[in-house]
Amino acid sequence: MAKRKFTVTAALPYSNGRLHVGHIAGCYLPADTFVRYLRSLGEEAAFICGSDDYGVPVALTARKEGKSPQEVSDHYRKIQKNDFEGLGIEFDIYSGTSQPPHDDISQQFFLKALENGYLEKRSQKQLYDPEAGMFLPDRYVEGVCHHCNAPDARGDQCESCGKPIDPELLNNPRSTITGARPRVKDTVHWFFLLSKFEDRLKEWLESHEEWRPMVRNFTGGLLESGLPDRAITRDLDWGIPVPLEDDPDAQGKVLYVWFDAPIGYVSFTAQWCRQNGKNLEAYENWWKDPECEIVHFIGEDNVVFHALMWPAMLMAQEDFQLPSQVPANCFLNIRPQGEDEQKISKSRGTAVWINEYLRSYDADPLRYYLTMIAPEDQRTTFKFEDFIARNNDELVACLGNLVHRTVTFVHKYCDGKIPPRGELSGEDRLQLEGIGELPGLAGEELEGYRFKNGLNRVMAAAREANRYFDRRKPWLLRKDNMPECRSVLNVLLNTIKTIGITAEPFLPFAGAKIRSMLACGTEEFRWKSASEPLPENRPLGKPEILFEKLEPPGDD
């Protein structure tokens, strides 16, 4: 069977701040889990991400910190990259939209869409800050949402109802720069004719009934109400210049961030190709090949961009493939100890920051917890006391206990070698048959982007293996029937191998430890080999503790 081929992306975080657990649960962790699974299967995958450097939030942070936007982007991109690496999230490339060749490729997208008749220059009225003496891009304006009346709605999209905002329709608008009430002033911008793609988008979306209901329902509702044409340029000095040197109206204009940011997936792929000794055009193998599936992992606030606007932009290019999946997670809320549930908020100090977490705890417990409470279908809540309990009661007491007591027992009573498998009892055969089904069952969940269910399959297998250990009582068998004891231990070690391989995409650090303890080679520790028996009499590696028992912060 030929290898499948995937381009997998995760949404670009703004390069103006640190990462918190909500970011990781939203798209980065499931994306990494999926890519690890694909590679364990032997499939071909490009895992692409980077920072959104041209976003207005970056310019606002730069203004606040007295730095240039480039300095801010470079600073926070490095922090984000370290956070991802600390969690074992391994992109093939983590770049930024201010890095070459992003400007060139974004300008190519603009010119091709213009050539194909999907861009139109229009005069429009835009909010202007009289005190700052500048036009206000959407995110420089806040006010009351004209859809749901939520306060403090940003001028691009309301966080409460998720709908796109027309900043001119905001009630009680104010400039985020000076706090002044903006006035309306004429300017010229280029509009992407999104309305021309309504029928094609509707047909395309209807062909993906397997997508998550949240994505289909949200995009379906927007299509029913009609898609407005959207301006894709702004009056700013931080961004990609509009590539029309002969047009005086283009002077001082840059591409709007919602247009250039998703192009980052393409430009980062081109950059990655060049870093691997290929020419830039090699990115076409990942974006224009009909045999390559494109999967965008995002959070719920990015659905409108990735399931409507970005596909329309790709259609406008006429030779790009459309996404085959857009797995979107809902928001992750947080409940600080002794407080009510609330949205994760940087300004309110309710975030669990990744760099701070990694100073005290290992990565796998957080990967485990965020997968187990993944907001795949609805918003869920991060509770630190629940995180501690699940680590201790599930990872330590179940999976860690199974591996540790089995491997140490073999070291103590079987000379540290994989014991031979003799005659099996009916219960032994049932255990091997049951664990043999795990790769298929867990794989089916992962293929369906049901990561929580997939990890639950793995943990259910670990619980059953512990029950098997207790029922077969190898500590008694070693006294009365050592050949049977060795067979039971052989079954347990092979069970651990299968569990370790299927757990590795979720818990890569624990997976690596299990592989080391079983003395497996890299190719031996792959999904396709999960049910193949371990070679008898091979020496095991040294026993290792998979997970440490955790205490809440402040406890002695």
Domain limits, the chain:
5-117+258-360, 384-529
Its pTM stands at: 0.92
Q: Check whether the bond before 57 is cis (ω within 30° of 0).
A: no
User: Residue 345's pLDDT is what?
Assistant: 53
The listed range with the strongest mean pLDDT (138-152, 345-359, 431-445) is 431-445
DSSP 353: B
Query: What contacts 262, CB < 8 A, 6 or more positions away?
Result: 12, 305, 306, 309, 310, 313
Helix axes 482-503, 438-447, angle to 10 degrees: 10
SS3 assignment, position 499: helix
What pLDDT, in 10s, does the model give residues 423-468? 999 999 999 999 999 999 999 999 999 999 999 999 999 999 999 9
Nearest to 371 by CA among 303, 302, 265, 442: 442
Average pLDDT, the chain: 93
pLDDT of residue 367: 98
pLDDT band for position 350 (50/70/90)?
low
Asked whether the predicted pLDDT for residue 344 surpasses 70, the reply is no
Q: Give the pLDDT score at 160.
A: 81
Q: How far lies 361's CA from each of 202, 353, 511, 516, 548, in Å?
A: 46, 12, 17, 22, 9
Separation of alpha carbons 163 and 312, rounded Å: 18
Q: Residues 476, 479, 482, 486: is their CA dihedral positive or negative?
A: positive
For residue 297, pLDDT over 70 is answered with: yes
Strands 119-129 vs 183-192: parallel, antiparallel or unpaired? antiparallel
CA–centroid distance for 152 within its chain: 27
Residue range 146-174: mean pLDDT, rounded? 85
pLDDT over 90 (residue 159): no
CA-based end-to-end distance of the chain? 56
Mean pLDDT of the 55-84 span:
93
Q: Is the separation of the CB atoms in 53 and 267 below 8 Å?
A: no
Q: Tell me, what's the pLDDT at 556? A: 44
| CA angle at 265 for the pair 66 and 283, rounded to the nearest 5° | 130
What's the CA gap between 143 and 283, in Å, rounded? 41
Tens of pLDDT, residue by residue over 507-547, are: 999 999 999 999 999 999 999 999 999 999 999 999 999 99
| Beta-strand pair 292-299/5-10 | parallel
Question: How many angstroms separate the most distant Cα atoms in the chain?
Answer: 93
How high is the pLDDT of residue 158?
84
What pLDDT was estimated at residue 126? 85
pLDDT of 317 > 80? The answer is yes
Residue 296 has pLDDT above 60, yes or no: yes
Compute the average pLDDT of residues 326-344: 74
Tell me: domain 5-117+258-360, CATH 3.40.50.620, correct? yes
Superfamily, domain 384-529: Isoleucyl-tRNA Synthetase; Domain 1 (1.10.730.10)
Q: What is the pLDDT of residue 343?
A: 56
For residue 58, count other CB atoms closer than 10 A to its CB. Answer: 26
- Over residues 393-418, the mean pLDDT reads 98
128-137, 177-186, 489-498: range with lowest mean pLDDT: 128-137
Which residues does 63 contact at the CB level (< 8 Å), separation at least 6? Answer: 177
